[in-house]
């Protein structure tokens, strides 16, 4: 591996799926993303959720105030779709440039999704409006309910919910967020140019065995949960192919360690500190480092109809250890790959 390039320069990447939280947690985690990424799509699953334009604007201001001096990071805000979302309201939010997209959480599917959509029939009017104005729908693609095995929830969602939705709203722009299955990859690849998917670094690196390696591993637990090895391999092939429909979205989702190391630990993997280095490592392992820029810096903006970033970042092949833990106010966060070496680091310019 070390026979390959030692330095890579690419257009500054963006993170098309990111949880920044609020308050002390926001202060702790934001610099890791702002250091490397030019923009990020900010998830709206706060408590209470960011359901309208005014809340998104207020949250954007809190993020901007928390930015380190001189950072040029741009948060792209999303609204949390509920059964009550008002089509006129979000059209105004999209038109004014505050809302970049709406996020669909099926109610009960993941962390802070209780206010999510209970039945797609209830949001038909909103989806029709989004289709008309070109506003993207970002999808947490898992069905809920005990009748479906947790490892099958994405594949079943595609069959029962996503495919029928796209039949009714063929022009709707949709991102299947944090795709985790071969079925998801195939669906997006075979779909129209209006369908894309984000892929996380951790789903490229771990399969479901990582959750049980020598004992239960709460810091490897996220939703959608990591799947079998064949799915990880399909994700690696998709991400490193350079195909326009696949782009970078870390789903970096910090939680206090005590909430994860519990009898009912919550879902979410915090990958921001090492994210771009982890992706670079995967692309290098797949012999596809020349496609990293498409995945990290070009495909996402093209999908969202935005220009690629003008400036660049440089990565150097020099291993560095991911911190074991980070302080966030009174809490601690354990990052993904804590204490392990990542092969690539961002060179300060």
Residues that bind Zn ion (CB under 5 A): 251
- Should residue 137 be labelled a site residue for ligand NCD when binding is judged by CB under 6 A? no
- CA–CA distances in Å: residue 261 to residues 110, 219, 255: 17, 8, 10
Question: d(Cα 331, Cα 326) in Å, to the nearest integer?
Answer: 8
What is the phi/psi pair of residue 232, to 5°? -60, -40
Q: Nearest approach, Cβ of 57 to ligand NCD (angstroms)? A: 21
Token match 């690629």: residue? 308
Question: d(Cα 87, Cα 331) in Å, to the nearest integer?
Answer: 39
Number of Cβ atoms within 10 Å of the Cβ of 112: 18
Q: Nearest approach, Cβ of 43 to ligand NCD (angstroms)? A: 6
- Should residue 260 be labelled a site residue for ligand NCD when binding is judged by CB under 6 A? no
Question: d(Cα 146, Cα 125) in Å, to the nearest integer?
Answer: 29
Q: Which residue is nearest to ligand NCD (CB)?
A: 268
Q: Nearest approach, Cβ of 179 to Zn ion (angstroms)? A: 12
Q: Could you say which of 251, 311, 331, 341 is catalytic?
A: 251
> Mapping DSSP to helix (H, G, I), strand (E, B) and coil, where does residue 74 land?
strand
- For residue 158, the Cα-to-chain-centroid distance in whole angstroms is 18
Choose one: 47-55, 72-80, 108-116, 320-328; the region binding ligand NCD (CB under 6 A): 108-116
- CA–CA distances in Å: residue 346 to residues 66, 171, 242, 249, 343: 22, 38, 21, 18, 11
- Should residue 111 be labelled a site residue for ligand NCD when binding is judged by CB under 6 A? yes
Query: Which residue in the set 116, 141, 268, 335 belongs to the binding site for ligand NCD (CB under 6 A)?
Result: 268
Q: Nearest approach, Cβ of 196 to Zn ion (angstroms)? A: 15
Q: Is omega for the bond preceding 224 within 30 degrees of 0, making it cis?
A: yes
- Should residue 140 be labelled a site residue for ligand NCD when binding is judged by CB under 6 A? yes
Question: d(Cα 96, Cα 236) in Å, to the nearest integer?
Answer: 37
Q: Nearest approach, Cβ of 313 to ligand NCD (angstroms)? A: 25
- Should residue 103 be labelled a site residue for ligand NCD when binding is judged by CB under 6 A? no
Residue 111 touches which of ligand NCD, Zn ion, none (Cβ within 5-8 Å per kind): ligand NCD
- Should residue 45 be labelled a site residue for ligand NCD when binding is judged by CB under 6 A? yes
52 in catalytic set: no
Question: d(Cα 82, Cα 32) in Å, to the nearest integer?
Answer: 30
Question: d(Cα 202, Cα 252) in Å, to the nearest integer?
Answer: 9
| Residue 201 vs 315, nearer CB to Zn ion | 201
- Should residue 110 be labelled a site residue for ligand NCD when binding is judged by CB under 6 A? yes
| Residue 18 vs 343, nearer CB to ligand NCD | 18
Residue 10 touches which of ligand NCD, Zn ion, none (Cβ within 5-8 Å per kind): none
Question: d(Cα 180, Cα 227) in Å, to the nearest integer?
Answer: 7
Q: Active-site positions?
A: 251
Site residues for ligand NCD per CB under 6 A? 19, 45, 110-112, 140, 222-223, 251, 253, 267-268
């Amino acid at each position: 591996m070390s026979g390959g390039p030692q330095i890579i320069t690419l257009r500054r990447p963006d993170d098309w799926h990111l949880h920044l939280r609020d308050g002390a947690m926001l202060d702790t985690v934001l610099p890791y993303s702002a250091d490397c990424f030019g923009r990020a799509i900010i998830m709206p699953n706060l408590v209470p959720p960011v359901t309208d334009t005014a809340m998104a604007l207020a949250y954007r201001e809190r993020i901007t105030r928390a930015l380190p001096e001189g950072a040029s990071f741009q948060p792209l805000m999303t609204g949390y779709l509920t059964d009550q979302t008002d089509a006129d309201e979000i059209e105004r939010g999209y038109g004014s440039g505050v809302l970049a997209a709406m996020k669909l959480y099926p109610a009960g599917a993941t962390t802070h999704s209780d206010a999510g959509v209970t039945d797609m029939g209830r949001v038909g009017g909103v989806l029709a409006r989004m289709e008309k104005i070109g506003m993207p729908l970002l999808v947490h693609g898992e069905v809920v309910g005990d009748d479906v095995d947790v490892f099958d929830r994405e594949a079943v969602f595609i069959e029962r919910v996503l495919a029928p939705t796209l039949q009714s709203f063929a022009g709707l722009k949709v991102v299947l967020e944090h795709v985790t299955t071969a079925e998801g990859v195939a669906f997006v690849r075979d779909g129209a140019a209006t369908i894309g998917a984000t892929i996380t670094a951790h789903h490229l690196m771990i399969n479901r065995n990582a959750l049980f390696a020598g004992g239960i591993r709460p810091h490897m637990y996220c939703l959608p949960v990591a799947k079998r090895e064949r799915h990880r391999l399909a994700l690696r092939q998709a991400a490193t192919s350079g195909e326009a429909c696949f782009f970078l979205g870390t789903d970096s989702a910090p939680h206090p360690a005590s909430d994860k190391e519990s009898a009912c630990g919550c879902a979410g993997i915090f990958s921001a500190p090492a994210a771009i280095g982890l992706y670079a490592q995967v692309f290098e392992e797949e012999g596809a480092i020349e496609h990293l820029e498409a995945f990290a810096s070009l495909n996402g903006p093209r999908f969202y109809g935005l220009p690629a970033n003008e400036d660049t970042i440089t990565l150097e092949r020099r291993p560095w250890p991911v911190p074991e833990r980070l302080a966030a106010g009174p809490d601690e966060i354990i990052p993904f790959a804590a204490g392990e070496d990542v092969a690539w680091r961002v060179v300060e310019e």
